[in-house]
Amino acid sequence: MEIIETEDVKKIAIGEADEKTCAEEWEKLVRKNYETNGGFDYFNYVDLSKSYANILAESNIVKASILKLIALNLEVGICFVEPDEIFIVDNDLIDDLRNRGYKIDTTNKIKYRQSIEAALKKAENFVTRLKMKANEINEMMKDKGEAKRASFEEIMANLSFILGFPVPDDITLCRFNEYKKIIDQKNKQSA
């Protein structure tokens, strides 16, 4: 429970372990807990969060690549509005953008500038995709008439009250689940 409150996944380790390994183990523990208790919101949340992160990463890569193509010409004093045919291209960046579905025309300076502008406009679609994904996450997190989200203290106080004895703050996830089973049995018997 302390890991949930502090979000310090390193507390899961006994001895030395890197944060990535601890995070992976914590995720396995939480998954197992949700499987055991019948809740799969966690999986949906993780999937939506990963999808959001992927869109954000793609957006950052594309926008940074386009801006670098612009900056290459600006840093050497080449202005896109001048009619001369001198301009600088980065074939690796352009190939990467083309592989991502962006049409960059290097035929001449004017077409190059127009294709860069079109790529920037197309890259703005990431904002819409990110907002839509964020809305999905927010919708999933909304209270649908189910139990409201409670703080650690509220959960511990309620658990102690229902069980009739003080539950220690350093409770393990396994013990918490066992207490939850006892409470569920009491609720079934009283219904």
**pLDDT tens, residue by residue, 29-71:** 766 666 665 555 666 777 788 888 999 999 999 999 999 998 8
Asked whether residue 143 is domain-assigned, the answer is no
Best CA proximity match to 48, nearest among 141, 157, 128: 141
Burial of 97: CB neighbours in 10 Å, binned 0-12, 13-18, 19+: buried
Helix (H, G, I), strand (E, B) or coil at 51: helix
Same domain for 156 and 117 = no
Torsion sign over Cα 19, 24, 29, 31: positive
Asked whether residue 124 is domain-assigned, the answer is yes
pLDDT band at 113 (very low <50, low <70, confident <90, very high): confident
Same domain for 6 and 31 = yes
Same domain for 14 and 71 = no
Question: Could you list the residue range(s) of the whole structural domain that residue 168 is in?
Answer: 150-191
Q: Considering the chain, what percentage of its residues have pLDDT values greater than 70?
A: 71
pTM of the predicted model over 0.75: no
Asked whether residue 144 is domain-assigned, the answer is no
Distance, CA of 13 to CA of 22 (rounded, Å): 6
Per the structure, how many domains does the chain have? 3
Q: Quick one: pLDDT at residue 178? A: 81
Q: Considering the chain, what percentage of its residues have pLDDT values greater than 90?
A: 23
Could you write out the three-class secondary structure of 63-129? HHHHHHHHHHHHHCCCCCCCCCCCCCCCHHHHHHHHHCCCCCCCCCHHHHHHHHHHHHHHHCHHHHH
Asked whether residue 176 is domain-assigned, the answer is yes
pLDDT at 150 over 60: no
Same domain for 71 and 112 = yes
Same domain for 74 and 119 = yes
Asked whether residue 139 is domain-assigned, the answer is no
Asked whether residue 138 is domain-assigned, the answer is no
Asked whether residue 145 is domain-assigned, the answer is no
Distance, CA of 172 to CA of 137 (rounded, Å): 29
Q: Quick one: pLDDT at residue 185? A: 79
Asked whether residue 135 is domain-assigned, the answer is no
Host H or E run for residue 46: helix 41-75
**Higher pLDDT among residues 170 and 96, named by residue:** 96
Same domain for 158 and 103 = no
**Higher pLDDT among residues 16 and 30, named by residue:** 16
Same domain for 83 and 28 = no
Mean pLDDT score of the chain: 77
Best CA proximity match to 165, nearest among 173, 157, 153: 157
The mean pLDDT of 141-153, rounded to a whole number, is 56
